[in-house]
Structure 1
Amino acid sequence: MELTEKDLLKIKDYEAHSLDVAEEGNNFVLSFANGVYLKVSDSTLKFVSRLDGTKPIDDIIEELKEEEGIYLRKEQVESFIYENLSKNCLLTNEEYNSKSGVIPDGSQLWFHFPLFRGERINVILKPVSVLFKKVAVISSILLFIVLQIYFVINGFYSDINFSNVLHMNTAGTLVIVFVSFILHEMGHAAAGVYYNIRIGNMGLGIYLFRPVFYTDLSEAWKLNRKKRMVTNFGGLYFQIVYAAILSVILLFTDAFILKISIILIVVSVLMNLDPILRLDGYWILSDLFGVVNVNDRAFDMLVKVIQKIFTKKDIDLGYGANIKKNVRMFVYIYSFIYVASTLIALFFGIFIVGKLLVNYPEITGLLGQIKECIGNKDILGFLSRMNNLLVLLLPLIYFIIMIIYNIHRIKNRNRFRDTNKNKAIVS
């Protein structure tokens, strides 16, 4: 029987690079021209290398078994082709490729719109990439810490209270903090420039129902773990540098708007260190221990361990078994921290809902004032009331985001594969 193009799959051109992770065996990252990156094991790479359009899948599976001692199930291979190659348009056989432009599983970046092209970013950030030299990093962070200690000792922040926050210059504060978000993404990109990797686009996206800036640093997977950690930390570092500059200005002006802005920037940095949501802290932790998709793996391993305890059966850890033993304990600890933090967030959310019910008259009053400001075209008044409303509702918004995130993760847990698509979008 004559073979047709449908029987002979051919993968598009790619580059293979060794991936620095704490997993058994050799692991690689495959980079494609369309910006997709695949994390694969040694056996998967050998299978992919045979997708040259000359042999059917059954023959490739048989070859790997006879020549390499690699045993692949037909359904396992078909799942890999569909989930990773077909969905990402990585086959030259166009009828097999998805046209939906799928966002990487688990990224939760549901919408993204590029604002700056990578080539332009590279030129702009080349001069400031020197800030990642060790002397510059230590000096900047020390300057910020010393100034904050000085401010606390001398009571610079003593006039910050709920009443002053409600009547602060909301518009000015928003502008100053907004600049820190832009600098955050520039920090990630500048770190990439410092390590001479290709910088992708920078733009706006929607992450868990909230707008975020993002930088496409997919090529960071080519770096070793230490350099990837620096790249992930780059955004927070630039925010700290920015806060240090504001602190120097505050030293001579004692401006209330700068005090609030510095505090909000610090809060933003601390929130980004959250290791549960896929923010900077998650990626830093992931690279520190060398575990790709640590969130998914930790959750799955925890479920399997619980099953083993209650069923008394020898449960296969699946892809979690590939993690080196000296790192596996970290994944278990992370799993329990994740569950504990989720439960705490749940009880905290219930408490917040109760508090909001008590403050219901105040909320309805603010909503009425906002409506009145819109009718009078009072922009500053509108921003001020919106600020007051956000002060009351922000904890509830964060709680709702956590609930949505966990529902999404549980829903997609079974879709995870050891050979997963890992497009690094840092926000």
Structure 2
Amino acid sequence: MVRPTSVPISAAGSAGPATAVLASGEPPVAVPRRPVPAGGLQMLGEFTGSGLRNRAFLVRRCDGQVITLTDLLVNIVDAADGSRDIPAIADRVRAVSGRTVSADNVEYLLTTKLIPLGVIAGGRGATATPRVTPLLGLAGRRTLMPAPAVGVLARVLAPLFRPTVVTGVLTAVVMLDVWLLTSSSVTAQIHHVLASPALILAVLGGTFVSMIFHECGHAAACHYGGGRPGVIGCGMYLLWPAFYTDVTDAYRLNRTARLRTDLGGVYFNAIFIVGLGIAFAVGRADALVVIVLLVHLEAFQQLVPVLRLDGYYILSDLAGVPDLFARIGPVLSAWLHHGRERCQRWTSTGGRHRRRNRGRNRNRNRIPDPRVTALTRRAQRTITAWVLVMAPLLATNLVLIIMIAPSVVTRAVTSVRAQAALAARSAGAGEPAAMIAEAADAAVLALPAVGIAFLLLRLAGAGVRAAVVAGRGGPGRAAAALLGVIIVVGVVLVSWLR
């Protein structure tokens, strides 16, 4: 349900030679006299369909993390083969790129970009391994199917993406939906399933299989486009468990193949629906109709581009920017900055005019964020529209989750106890199907409370880390960070104790 597992780390801001030095207080990075690439480094080529103004190239470390580099950094990595010292690397880069690059430029980029990103081995042969660990990312990953098995399965299922097969499946889904809605009473079938513990278990099992099949669709689409899928696994995503497919290799494919990989899961949902429809036509089992409805709901949920589900990656690949969440802050800051500029241009008299000029002078000293300026105009518009819709929605939902957390946990504990008592009674009465169904109900009822507790722990950890980073900026920022923490904790406690 969540993919991919690795978001490219960007080396933004390194588009040209740099002569700056490390900020005071930063530990120096040891640069070997003859730099060599990190062990197992794989050059994936240019990131096609990119929403960046300059060309971007992808490399993959031995741990699977993908790094986005500019053409200058790629030229340095190519030249750093262990046989050249830093001046020779600079000569090689000048000859290949035609750009003025000095040995100091190369050493600076090695020190500030390539070695910290783990692309070039450090002075003692050690390799840094920074990874993207987003707050809204998948946590607690566990492998369900290893990469070799996924590769075999993807190779077998890849022919399902041939155009004639896709056309037939989509046509069959439309015909099946029309037939089910006109030939059966969906409401009566749902009530029949809910009244039978055995049918509830059948529906849960069918839904579980559809989720696994969904992930197989991502893997098969990646293989069909020429990529190499990784493992299929599960983890905790915000409030609920989720499955994922490692299709990080899709980043090296063209935009069409990446979009096919994004849509592969929903397409396999359609194939699963067609299979359920055929089974219903033969057996007339009401549970199959309920599973069809749930699979439709799953596909719709996946296409909503708010969280890191399929719709998010579809929008990401359409925009050509693989890390949308990392650009929320810079985009909002740039949008507010432009809004202030427009307001200042509208003022035209007296002191307002003087304030406008002072504002312009301040704005001239403002350094644009490269995470925004590096984007094309089309990508900036797309991401800005997404941020303006998504950021308030996400913030509102997080606030609501925090406020209702105590009541959700209390109700979940009460409901789980009641279901556990029913399961024990069914076990004593010799009704194994009812016992298993009620135990499954208890587990489902416990998931929201467990998910909320998990999310609150992650939010608390992120808040503490942000406060610590802000506190390092000086006494004023430390006091502001401490005051902010006190206010947030106080507001949360007041909302919980009401």
Structure 1 length as normaliser, TM-score?
A: 0.78
2:228 to 167, 192, 198: 198
Q: Which residue pairs with 2:294 in the alignment?
A: 264
Query: Quick check: 2:412–2:449 contact (8 Å CA) kept in 1?
Result: no
Q: Are the structure 2 counterparts of residues 17 and 355 from structure 1 closer, same or farther at C-alpha, using a change threshold of 3 Å?
A: closer
In structure 2, relative to structure 1, the CA distance for the partners of 1:114 and 1:367 (3 Å cut) is closer
The residue aligned with 1:241 is: 271
Secondary structure of 2:37's partner? Answer: coil
Are 1:338 and 2:369 counterparts? no
**1:215 paired residue number:** 245
Partners of 1:125 and 1:186 within 8 A in 2: yes
Q: How many residues align?
A: 406
SS at match of 1:112: strand
Q: Does 1:68 align with 2:99?
A: yes
The corresponding residue for 1:9 is 35
The answer on 1:380 being equivalent to 2:433 is yes
Counterpart of 1:179, as a letter, is: V
Structure 1 equivalent of residue 381 of structure 2:
329
1:333 positional shift: 0.9
What are the residue-to-residue correspondences of 1:285-364 with 2, within 5 Å?
A: 285-306=315-336, 309=339, 313-314=362-363, 315=366, 316-346=368-398, 349=401, 350=403, 364=417
Distance 1:110 1:384, change over 3 A: closer
Q: For 1:145-196, what per-residue CA distance to the aligned partner results, in whole angstroms no more than 9, with x for missing partners?
A: 2211222233431215578536442322222122212211221121122223
Residues 217, 286 of structure 1: alpha-carbon distance in 2 compared, 3 angstrom cutoff: same
Which residue does the alignment assign to 2:170?
A: 141
Aligned to 1:46: 75
* 2-structure distance, mates of 1:406, 1:65: 47
Summarize the Cα distance change of 1:74–1:277 in structure 2 as closer, same or farther, 3 Å threshold: farther
CA distance in 2, matches of 1:275, 1:194: 24
Contact 1:18/1:28 (<8 A) preserved: yes
Task: Provide the rounded CA distance (Å) in 2 between the counterparts of 1:49 and 1:182.
Answer: 40
Distance 1:355 1:27, change over 3 A: closer
Gaps of 5+ in 1: 416-427
Q: Secondary structure at the match of 1:278?
A: coil
Task: Tell me: CA distance 1:388–1:285, structure 2 relative to 1, closer, same or farther (3 Å).
Answer: same
C-alpha distance in 2 between matches for 1:411 and 1:392: 30
1:37-62 deviation per Cα after TM superposition (whole angstroms, max 9, x unaligned): 32212222223233333566698679
Conservation of the 8 A alpha-carbon contact between 1:112 and 1:204: yes
- Provide the C-alpha distance between the structure 2 equivalents of 1:279 and 1:408, rounded to a whole number of angstroms: 23
Q: Which amino acid aligns with 1:368?
A: A
Q: After superposition, what is the alpha-carbon deviation per residue over 1:239-293, rounded to whole angstroms, capped at 9, x for unaligned?
A: 2101111022223433121122222222222222232222221111111121121
Structure 2 CA distance for aligned equivalents of residues 64 and 22 of structure 1: 26
1:30 pairs with 49, 54, 59, which one?
Answer: 59
TM-score w.r.t. structure 2 length?
Answer: 0.68
Return the letter of the residue paired with 1:24: R
1:85 to 2:85 alignment: no
1:105 and 1:155, CA in 2 relative to 1: closer, same or farther beyond 3 A? same
- Secondary structure of the corresponding residue to residue 167 of structure 2: helix
Q: Give the AA of the match of 1:53.
A: G
Query: Over residues 372-406 of structure 1, what are the superposed CA-to-partner deviations in whole Å (9 max), with x where a residue is unaligned?
Result: 56788965334322444466566666767776777
Structure 2 residue matching 1:68: 3-state secondary structure: coil
Which structure is larger by alpha-carbon Rg, 1 or 2? 2
| 3-state SS in 1 of match to 2:188 | coil
- Give the whole-Å Cα distance in 1 for the aligned partners of 2:377 and 2:292: 42
- Sequence identity of aligned pairs in percent? 18
Q: Secondary structure at the match of 2:76?
A: helix
Q: 1:79 to 1:360 in 2, by over 3 A?
A: same
Deviates more, 1:182-191 or 1:69-78: 69-78
What secondary structure, in the 3-state scheme, does the structure 1 residue paired with 2:143 have? strand
Residues 11 and 48, structure 1, Cα contact 8 Å, conserved in 2: yes
Which of 145, 159, 167 aligns to 1:130? It is 159
Once the two structures are overlaid, the 10-residue window that deviates more, 277-286 or 302-311, is 302-311
